[in-house]
């Protein structure tokens, strides 16, 4: 069975059980706001509302935290260690972004 068929079956089952009936904004058009033309941004927003953050968002938050740690760090050895952690997070984010780009091609 193809993934798309399995997904469609799960969607139909959820509809039959009424799991989509009480969703926030049900029956209303999506508010595109600033994200007009960006299906990716809309997808991120929907995931965030559902409490599921994409790895890219989690990594961006971790990068912000690590950058603040680096700003507050003194001492050459400690700064090098914190810079290495920041560089690793940035590299992981770059890998995630490239994977997403390739997926959408």
Q: What is the pLDDT of residue 30?
A: 65
Q: Give the domain extent around 61.
A: 3-104
Q: What is the pLDDT of residue 53?
A: 75
Tell me the per-residue pLDDT of 29-55, one tens digit each, with 9 for 90 and over.
766 565 455 677 777 777 777 777 778
DSSP symbols for 21-88: TT-TTTTS----GGGTT-HHHHHHHHHHHTT---HHHHHHHHHHHHHHHHHH--SHHHHHHHHHHHHH
pTM: 0.55
pLDDT band at 102 (very low <50, low <70, confident <90, very high): confident
Tally of domains within the chain: 1
């Amino acid at each position: 069975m193809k993934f798309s068929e399995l997904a469609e079956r799960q969607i139909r089952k959820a509809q039959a059980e009424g799991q989509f009936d009480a969703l926030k904004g049900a029956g209303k058009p999506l508010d595109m706001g600033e994200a007009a033309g960006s299906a990716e941004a809309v997808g991120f927003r929907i995931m965030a509302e559902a409490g599921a953050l994409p790895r890219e968002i989690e990594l961006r938050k971790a990068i912000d935290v690590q950058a603040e740690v680096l700003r507050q760090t003194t001492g050459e050895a400690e700064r090098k260690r914190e810079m290495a952690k920041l560089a690793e997070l940035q590299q992981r984010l770059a890998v995630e972004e490239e994977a997403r780009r390739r997926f959408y091609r």
